[in-house]
Amino acid sequence: MIDAQAITLRGREAAESLMLDTGLVERSLGLVTDPVTAVVSEVWETVYTGKCKLQGRQAQASTPDAGGHAFTVEQLMVHLPVSAQSLPGDRVTVLSSVMDPDLVGLKLRLTELGRGTYRTADRWNVELVTQ
């Protein structure tokens, strides 16, 4: 008899062993206005800090034009442990990367999670927007 739960847990360990990058997942608490300077800024709370993996999802990027300004939008994926408790709209910042130091500092928005009972990782579609 197959013990699907035990196999899934072993799969999670294997998936996490490939997560060599470190990421910070934050959730927006909304906009606040500084009473002294009147500067409006977005406030973020930390949801998760730890291992992650970033990889490409699509071979080509798009370059939409909005308000006369061109952006490059790359379609990527971020893999997080299932326990990360992240939600669509959360922001991921790559804090460190063993294999690709060019990833450090990237900010990505979580857009879509592949769901399922026997997932070995949270595999998020994300958007990286550069100006």
Q: Distance (Å, rounded) from C-alpha 35 to C-alpha 33?
A: 6
User: In the prediction, which pLDDT does 115 show?
Assistant: 87
Residue 129: pLDDT over 70 = no
Proportion of the chain above pLDDT 90, given as a percent = 73
pLDDT of residue 74: 73
Tokens, residue 98: 């063993």
Question: In Å, how far are 43, 53, 82 from 122, measured between CA atoms?
Answer: 25, 10, 5
Share of the chain above pLDDT 70, in %: 85
Q: For residues 51 and 42, what is the distance between their CA atoms, to the nearest angstrom?
A: 25
What are the tens digits of pLDDT across the range 9-59? 999 999 999 999 999 999 999 999 999 999 999 999 999 999 999 988 765
Domain that holds residue 125: 4-130
What are the E-state strand segments in 81-121? Answer: 91-96, 107-113
* Beta carbons of 99 and 50 less than 8 angstroms apart: no
Q: Residue 33's domain is classified under what CATH number?
A: 2.40.10.270
Number of structural domains found in the chain? 1
